[in-house]
Each structure stands twice: as C-alpha cells, then as structure tokens.
C-alpha cells in the first residue's frame, strides 16, 4: 500500500500526528509519500524521519506516484487544499481533523489508528463528491475547480455589486448584493450555511445559489440541477470584484464574465464504516443538545 500525507506544516499538532503516522506505517510496511512542505518542516524541526534516499519516504509530487490513499491532516481548509493538489488523479482522500468543525475532515485524531487498520483491511467506503468548474471569459483563471463553492463578492469596502445570472443560457435574476455563493452539496455546510443557504446531503445532484446580504428581501437561495450551466456578468462601482474558489481568492475586472458548470471528474472521499451524514450534522451543529 502507498499513502501520501498532506497537512498544514506550520501547526505543531499536525507534525505530531504525522510523526505518529510514520511510526504506525513503518511497523505495517506501508510506503509513505510526504508533501514537500511537510517533509521540509519536519526536517527543520528535527522530527523523526527516514533517510531522504529511502524510496518509500520520498516527497509526493503532483505528477502522482500510483498512490492508494491521501491523508489530509488538519481542518476542512487543509482537505480542500489536498483535493486541489490531487485533482483528477482518482486518489481517495481521508480527512483527519485537527481543526474545529471538520465536515470534510471527519476522522478525529484519536481514531487515526482505527481508520488506518480499516484501510489496510479494506473496511471502508468511498464517496464520490461532485465539483464545480469555473472559467473566465476575458481572463485566464488558475485553480478553476471547487469542491465546496465558488463565490463572487464585492471588493473591499466598496458598495454592493450587481450580479446578472443566467442558467442554461436563459436570464434568471439580477442580484444586488454583497455577493453570491454557488455551492455544491458538499459545500452546503461551509460558506453556504453561513449565508443562510440550505443544508444538503452530499450525494444530492444539485447546485445551490445563495446570495450574500441581498438588497431584496424576496430573494432567497435557489437549488438547481447539477447539470445546469451558470453564467455571471458582474458590475461594481470600483471596476472589479473578488472571485473565491474554495477560499482561493483573486480580484477580477468587471469585464471578466464567468461560466460555471459541473466538473468532469469527482473527488473521492473515504468514510468509516459507521459514517452517517445525519449524525455528523447532529454532532457538529449540536442539534438536540
């Protein structure tokens, strides 16, 4: 078995967890590939590590090394970064939570040994999570794939922006708001939740459009089929707006129009045998407490 490990190298608890995993996997003869950042930081802080010339412990490269699983150690932000690096390599991701809520990184650190044993014994399920793809008409976009959401927002302290939205080529609505969140069901528990959007089970085939601080009280979040396409024309007084793709933000000129559709591939997420989305909602949102 070959496993790649990703994480926030600046957090001590992440490095401690990686060190534990290295010892665990050495005993079970599992080949491990560390992200470049983790490997460098562990060497700098003199964590136990294997020799650089050892083939089993070389750094993971974006070209991939026929990896069986990727471990994302951190919070949901780390998971999104890992998913972005993995891309369409078809590598299932295990989210180990060293953060707070952790809807994507659901495995707690005290469960790491359990899930590793389950991976080795083949006792797990793999969920297919849909992504969104965005392209800019009039401007090149890097990292165009989103597992959680694509959001357009006003820039800085400028007044609200105007977002002219069309679906499947037909006009839908002209939003006057601070922004618009276009979310996958996976991302319904992220930014979408904070702006009043609906919660959705990750396997629902849909896209959610949730306005941010809309000027019209009659405007509410809208759910559309995942195979519909979305086109955005934006205008603001200062001539630009912000585009955020799973938290990776950049400023774009008003002239850059956006086209959004379902991505051609999915992200594979490993789940424990006892995983339940409803139970995760109850635990993390403290329903019934």
CA distances for 212 relative to 171, 175, 215, angstroms: 19, 10, 9
Determine how many CB atoms are found less than 10 A away from the CB of residue 242.
Answer: 18
Could you tell me which residues come within 8 angstroms of residue 16 by beta carbon, excluding any fewer than 6 positions away? none
Task: Single out the residue of 270, 267, 275 nearest to residue 1, CA to CA.
Answer: 270
Encoded tokens for 80? 């999104």
- Strands 257-271 and 248-253, sheet pairing: unpaired
Task: Single out the residue of 250, 246, 206, 249 nearest to residue 230, CA to CA.
Answer: 206
Residues 83 and 92: their CA atoms lie apart, in Å, by: 9
Instruction: Name the DSSP class of 109.
Output: G
Catalytic site residue from 31, 76, 178, 246: 76
To the query of whether residue 178 is one of the catalytic residues in this protein, the response is no
Catalytic residue positions? 76
């Amino acid at each position: 078995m070959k496993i790649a490990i990703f994480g926030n190298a600046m957090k001590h608890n992440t490095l401690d967890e990686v060190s534990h995993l290295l010892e665990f996997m050495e005993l079970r003869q599992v080949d491990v590939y560390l992200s470049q950042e983790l490997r460098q930081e562990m060497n700098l802080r003199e964590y136990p590590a294997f020799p650089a010339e050892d083939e089993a412990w070389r750094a993971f490269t974006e070209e991939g090394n026929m990896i069986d699983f990727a471990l994302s150690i951190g919070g949901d932000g780390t998971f999104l970064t890992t998913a972005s690096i993995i891309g369409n390599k078809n590598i299932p991701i295990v989210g180990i939570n060293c953060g707070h809520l952790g809807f994507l990184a659901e495995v707690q650190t005290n469960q790491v040994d359990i899930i590793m044993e389950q991976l080795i014994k083949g006792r797990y399920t793999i969920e297919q999570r849909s992504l969104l793809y965005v392209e800019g008409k009039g401007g090149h976009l890097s990292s165009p794939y989103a597992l959680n959401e694509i959001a357009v927002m006003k820039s800085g302290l400028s007044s609200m922006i105007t977002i002219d939205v069309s679906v499947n080529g037909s006009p839908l609505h002209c939003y006057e708001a601070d922004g618009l969140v276009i979310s996958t069901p996976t991302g319904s528990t992220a930014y979408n939740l904070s702006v009043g959007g609906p919660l959705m089970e990750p396997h629902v085939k849909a896209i959610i459009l949730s306005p941010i601080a809309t000027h019209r009280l009659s405007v509410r979040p809208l759910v559309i089929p995942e195979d519909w396409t979305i086109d955005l024309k934006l205008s603001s007084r200062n001539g630009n707006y912000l585009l955020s793709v799973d938290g990776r933000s950049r400023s774009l000129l008003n002239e850059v129009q956006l086209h959004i559709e379902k991505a051609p591939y999915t992200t594979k997420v490993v789940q424990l045998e006892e995983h339940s989305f409803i139970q995760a909602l109850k635990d993390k949102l403290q329903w019934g407490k």
